Structure 1
């Protein structure tokens, strides 16, 4: 496959403007399926040319078939990623005489108005912004989306694994109905363990009805439709070349190592909490390191300045959460460093892929564990990676709250919807069929919807609950915890947890934000604003996070294997070797190669399952009276009653093997389930329980022998 398959103007500029000798492997493999209108999932490592592999054939089709404006949507999970891609896509579309626009929450009202008056052929946006357009009275959505022909979903795995994915699919089905004909869907991903299943999910209601292809760099001739595999390995990212695991013991220890290693190089440090980002940033600055920060609670301007400055610098460090995991270009990186460990192999591959892009360089990742749990999680993760394991992307089950949100959004969009015709808008997409009818009935019963003459329309309860700021709360599928905007003069620094503004303190109230210390001078409680001035030192950083955190069954079992002697295929420092030896010795009463253990320490009785949070929650619910109802489960154990006897255990275990139970949902978790107030409580609780359960993991552990150390 040569450049000849593309539009002549595009091919000309690729050779003469960019100096390309030809297409890259993925771009060659993707050209024919995309030109034929097939749905596709394009897999390649980070910086593997996925964007071009999708856009070049679609722009060629646009010119050949004379598509209108807008006809091609490019969706991404992060506004920053779209901003980063905009100049590139403007250039590519401009070579063919087309234009590229961008629409998301940070685009000014004037910019959106210009797009409405004069839409571009290619539009970069997010699913939430699409929802806002559909429900807006300012957008003639029937006219605007009538010419839609194709959608590219970047980082599709980041959508599919949570409720944003169900929201994305539902919005795409509504757009397909407005377009009046099938809309081609193309997903882009770097790391995924179940590519064929992910592609079927992306197709939505068209799964099985339209030709679909998984395309990877090692492409071969396609096989039979509807899902043909051009190459679909479990992991498409090549193994990083230089991986090291160290134990540094603290933030101060991590800052010391980072400051001392690789001076003169660009280093990207990943942390899995905003608090760690802030604390490490301060510690590095104290050591004279040029450091920049990036996380979701910093203002847009603050993040943009940091990322731009980092891209233009050499001897510096940027410390970030997953905001920089998903492909945002910050220039050529020399080193990737990870504090503790991410929660998945896929995330590790994504992060390590940020370095080693230059010719002659190698991918690398240095793990710096702050404590023993962080070290063991990193070791287990690297053991899984060494075995070739990548997690499958599994959509969360039973998205009843998203069904409620979508029905309300549809009524806003159409003003009135036939009470027997609403399901037609989702074209038979699984959760939105007849099983959704009890949710519609509840919405009517509670006043979220009204009925008149066989037509549904938005009711007073929906106005009261979601109607603030033109129903803006109804356009996002995830819960954002309340935060206060932090202002230094008129400049926004970022946002902070209100708990830091209410807790009792002695002396001035100090915050840590953007890697700097701030003294709170005034709090506007009504508008949720906090005014600050610079402080010399001190301060706290904290943010509440909705949802349940915990290790998967696979990762928890890998940690068990490490404690039993399995070695991850990476270099361990001497400190790492000492910690691992000590951890294995300490863990002797908790792990056994022949099965699980029950141990007692005073009044603390634990069943060491090494099964992960969800499996342990399932086991606790299924064990009945022998589990301790007052104690939460951990990733590695379930607490049992202090008066447990072997006989009571054997009886409870046998019962659990016959009848596994769903874990109960607690009130705190319900608050994190957005739109749960639009559901009957029993259905909201059932949704959460279905997402907490791990039946396979629980069954596996129950089948193993159990030894008593009591």
Structure 2
């Protein structure tokens, strides 16, 4: 295949992958975006397919995004055809006719998402045993994107069920960019198949790829950011990352008003709108695409010249993914321009770059206590098999760490609760859907069962017969001078009509400025990043290029926090409000706020400090913190209100105390709390 493709040689990752993949070992392969991971996995798999005479659907290639599947499919199809084999793609946008042809004549390689794989397993019109019973290997692309949230636990459960259909464990290969704990990621990916050999394949990076150009600038507003982007790097292709959909729309609209060729990509645009933008961007030269983290993953948007970051991402891993989009052409360097619109963003960017210089990357940590996913899998198995033995579910799910770590009592408690609530019915030890389960998650509503996240109810926006995307209902508030005007796809649209029962919005183009909203909480800031920000305030400056404006903001931040240090905590103030400066990160500060006697509102806690009640004296705060220091960090769980469990998918399948405990477990950071309580405390005027 290498000769057919005209390649002079294999890359180090591809060379090192041959032996373990051919031997059937589990593996996690690490390389930057466009580092040849797909070929490193598929070339030896295709060789095994031929030498071992695999027949039928033998390889699953799982991706987190439909757009990534669409992007990869032509390449994988061509590789398969070179050796006389076939590939197919299956996701929610694939038509019934295409799916029917694949069921009649299964491809050798199937590209899909976890949600579509779940559909294959539970559908009454698909013989899952016949279709998936020959699977030998599963490739999980962007595996780190799965492992850090509940989609990862869902995926592992699906792979256990596929292994059961296939008559034994299947080989698992994860593809990822740089992560902080690749060995831990490999152990997670193995699931119950811990006896099979496996390893991390992570060849040393080429020294030339370490040349980077990083600049931090402060611009103050989104409009100013648009002005800078419009004037810099003209004639080049620029990818701009913005960490909210609303600000993506705001920036892209501002760029178009400055006559910049601008394209937009985020999760609330329709699939057709995203495909149009990404296709047009790959074919254009002097242009900008503005995107959320959806373009952080390995979707090919052509040969980029520049990456621009509005404010700062919350993790080093995200930064590495984004900067890895550049520097692919010979003679070019990886680059990133930070355009900060807030003072705090300059500090966060500096902390992030300090960690990056240290070579530190966040470990991928699967969320603990997925009790709600156990309930989901019980329902899915009941739908798949018609009914499942109350004690035999482990044969399907296997001893997954996610469920094995749960004590037998909570597992049985979940089953009892679901039976008592008529979500399941127990007939002689066999579980099947009950009245309430059928109503909420049965065949009429099975689409709600296959997605493991609860999404806010959105309104679908139409211009004529063209679907534009979706918005939060909050965007539809009327203006004083007339109908609501929204932003979507980087353009303003006037709302003509709203069909509330069907959640449809009909619009027409507008010349007025508008605004769109989506309800979503900001990302949590880790203890390590908060500590790095304290180190920056203490005087450390990452060795990148700083504009005079950014230097001025950083100097001002240091003058306001001249007492800051990662070695201790401080009782002081923020804008006249009493606070405890911990630099402990979002999760730890939520827990400390919950359990500190003189703490103020939990809603006022940040990654840098714990709010104190108005009027709290330094002596009172110092005494209360000293008392808190006597606590065991493991006892200081963040508070969770009963109403908060509505954000946990399948929460109605759990007793309320267990649902609240599950959420609390996911908000805790015992190590950060313990480290904070051990530090010296002082008070400042």
The answer to whether TM tops 0.5 is yes
Could you list the runs of 5+ residues in structure 1 that have no partner in the other structure?
Answer: 1-10, 219-232
Offset of residue 626 of structure 1: 2.1
Offset of residue 118 of structure 1: 1.6
- What does residue 563 of structure 1 align with? 537
- What does residue 278 of structure 1 align with? 249
CA deviations over 1:361-408 (Å, ceiling 9, x no partner): 111111110110111111110111011110000001101111111111
Question: 1:237 and 1:346 mapped to 2: Cα distance?
Answer: 20
- What does residue 7 of structure 2 align with? 20
| Pair 1:499–1:191, CA change in 2 (3 A) | same
Contact persistence 1:255–1:280 (CA under 8 A)? yes
CA deviations over 1:251-285 (Å, ceiling 9, x no partner): 11111111111111111111111111111111111
| Pair 1:384–1:42, CA change in 2 (3 A) | same
Offset of residue 450 of structure 1: 0.3
Contact persistence 2:462–2:507 (CA under 8 A)? yes
CA deviations over 1:157-204 (Å, ceiling 9, x no partner): 000001111111111111111111120000000110100000000000
- What does residue 608 of structure 1 align with? 581
| Pair 1:464–1:67, CA change in 2 (3 A) | same
Q: SS at 1:314's partner residue? A: coil
Offset of residue 313 of structure 1: 0.8
Question: 2:99 and 2:228 mapped to 1: Cα distance?
Answer: 47
Question: 1:690 and 1:497 mapped to 2: Cα distance?
Answer: 29
Offset of residue 293 of structure 1: 0.5
- Kindly report which structure 2 residues correspond to 1:204-283, keeping only aligned pairs within 5 A, or say none: 204-207=191-194, 209-218=195-204, 238-239=209-210, 241-283=212-254
- Say which of 526, 537, 543 aligns to 2:518: 543
Question: 1:690 and 1:578 mapped to 2: Cα distance?
Answer: 41
Question: 1:648 and 1:578 mapped to 2: Cα distance?
Answer: 33
Q: SS at 1:174's partner residue? A: helix
Q: SS at 2:364's partner residue? A: coil
Contact persistence 1:44–1:237 (CA under 8 A)? no
| Pair 1:651–1:281, CA change in 2 (3 A) | closer
CA deviations over 1:435-473 (Å, ceiling 9, x no partner): 522211211111110011221101111122223744110
Offset of residue 240 of structure 1: 5.1
Offset of residue 237 of structure 1: 11
- What does residue 528 of structure 2 align with? 554
Question: 2:602 and 2:566 mapped to 1: Cα distance?
Answer: 30
**Does residue 484 of structure 2 align to residue 509 of structure 1?**
yes
Question: 2:366 and 2:210 mapped to 1: Cα distance?
Answer: 26
| Pair 1:686–1:239, CA change in 2 (3 A) | farther
**Does residue 530 of structure 2 align to residue 596 of structure 1?**
no
Q: SS at 1:364's partner residue? A: strand
When normalised by structure 2's length, the TM-score is 0.96
Offset of residue 602 of structure 1: 8.8
- What does residue 229 of structure 1 align with? none
When normalised by structure 1's length, the TM-score is 0.93
Contact persistence 1:622–1:659 (CA under 8 A)? no
| Pair 1:236–1:121, CA change in 2 (3 A) | farther
Deviating more after overlay: 647-656 vs 111-120: 647-656
CA deviations over 1:10-66 (Å, ceiling 9, x no partner): x3xx313x2112211100000000000000000111111000000000011011111
- Say which of 25, 29, 42 aligns to 1:42: 29
- What does residue 95 of structure 2 align with? 108
Contact persistence 2:531–2:566 (CA under 8 A)? no
| Pair 1:663–1:172, CA change in 2 (3 A) | same
Matched residue count: 678
Contact persistence 1:101–1:120 (CA under 8 A)? yes
| Pair 1:240–1:337, CA change in 2 (3 A) | farther
Question: 2:668 and 2:478 mapped to 1: Cα distance?
Answer: 35
Contact persistence 1:380–1:556 (CA under 8 A)? yes
CA deviations over 1:189-239 (Å, ceiling 9, x no partner): 0110100000000000112x1101101123xxxxxxxxxxxxxx9x99954
Question: 2:84 and 2:641 mapped to 1: Cα distance?
Answer: 56
Offset of residue 549 of structure 1: 2.9
| Pair 1:570–1:313, CA change in 2 (3 A) | same
| Pair 1:237–1:515, CA change in 2 (3 A) | farther
- What does residue 587 of structure 1 align with? 561
Question: 1:510 and 1:468 mapped to 2: Cα distance?
Answer: 38
Question: 1:237 and 1:691 mapped to 2: Cα distance?
Answer: 40
Deviating more after overlay: 637-646 vs 61-70: 637-646
Deviating more after overlay: 649-658 vs 512-521: 649-658
CA deviations over 1:631-662 (Å, ceiling 9, x no partner): 53111111123334526633553344333310
**Does residue 591 of structure 2 align to residue 618 of structure 1?**
yes
**Does residue 72 of structure 2 align to residue 99 of structure 1?**
no
Could you list the runs of 5+ residues in structure 2 that have no partner in the other structure?
Answer: none
| Pair 1:297–1:469, CA change in 2 (3 A) | farther
